[in-house]
Amino acid sequence: MPKPSVLSKAELIELTSDLKIEAPGAKPVRVQFNPESLKVTYANQLVTKENQSAQTGTAAMQHVGKGTTKLAVQLWFDVNHPSSKPEEGEAPRDVRDLTTQVAYFITPNDKSDPGKYVIPGVRFQWGSFSFTGVMESLDETLELFSNDGRPLRASLSLGLIQQEIVAFNKGQGMTLPKSGDVSGNEAAGTVALTTASAGSTVQSLADTSGKANGNWQDIASANGIENPRLLEPGQLLNIHATARLSI
């Protein structure tokens, strides 16, 4: 008879303040219930160049500062669940005895540098998913109480952040027209793109636009389209583009 598969549980692992190694002697905090979803948000910091007004348009915002990646997770804890009972000692009677282990990661301490309070690093690990950063926010909601007023169940909304963007390294997303193949002096992002619908071709889009002079072969070449009669639904094209001739 095959053995039942073991459910992998997500863990919060304490790291040193430089986020490079696990903190010596620290024990991972294992969740009671795996989250239903993980929300990852990527954000770039757009800044203007020196001596250039922020009102000068798209070109003034092309300088990008260091980006951030954020992870949003919701966890639940319940003292009535069998997993809350430790192997030794008494079972917790207050759910905050469990959530305190998570709140530790947002609590400043002075272990690394006496007199200077820092937030411990943390790695959220769940199977093949791993996120390293610091805990930026923590919302705790007490949801169930005993007759004598003890909180028995709680939900925690965690916000973790890291000061870089590392996810886009596998070529995700659709391929946009190459700006080097398009004539004109328009700044990037200022030309409206046309979205191909199911069954459309480059020729039909050119005819519909009324501004392409019917030269759909040139449009296909400028947009890097090999088969102008086979467009994927949702594919973006610059109908106004014209291919540059190599000399």
pLDDT tens digit sequence for 45-78: 776 666 555 555 555 555 666 788 999 999 999 9
pTM beyond 0.75, yes or no: no
Average pLDDT over residues 209-234: 74
- Residue 184 pLDDT > 60: no
How high is the pLDDT of residue 172?
A: 40
Q: How far apart are CA 176 and CA 130, in angstroms?
A: 30
Fill in the amino acid letter for 52: Q
Q: Does domain 179-237 have CATH number 3.90.550?
A: no
Q: How many C-beta neighbours within 10 Å does residue 24 have?
A: 7
- Domains of the chain by residue range: 11-162, 179-237
**Which of 62-66, 84-88, 136-140, 221-225 has the weakest average pLDDT?**
62-66
Q: What is the pLDDT of residues 10-20, one digit of tens each?
A: 999 999 878 88
**Which of 6-15, 124-133, 139-148, 205-214 has the weakest average pLDDT?**
205-214
Q: At 208, phi and psi to the nearest 5?
A: -70, -35
Q: List the structure tokens of 196.
A: 């191909």
Q: Which of 101-115, 126-140, 164-178 has the highest mean pLDDT?
A: 126-140
Distances, alpha carbon 214 to alpha carbons 208, 218, 235, 245, in Å:
10, 9, 20, 19
Q: How far apart are CA 118 and CA 107, in angstroms?
A: 8
Q: At 147, phi and psi to the nearest 5?
A: -65, -30
Q: Which of 11-15, 112-116, 206-210 has the highest mean pLDDT?
A: 11-15
How high is the pLDDT of residue 170?
A: 41
- CA proximity to 39, closest of 72, 74, 75, 69: 72
Query: Higher model confidence: residue 195 or residue 243?
Result: 195
Mean pLDDT of the chain: 77
Q: How many C-beta neighbours within 10 Å does residue 234 have?
A: 10
| E strand residue ranges, 79-150 | 121-126, 129-145
- Residue 126 pLDDT > 80: yes
Q: How far apart are CA 151 and CA 132, in angstroms?
A: 31
- CA proximity to 239, closest of 175, 229, 228, 220: 220
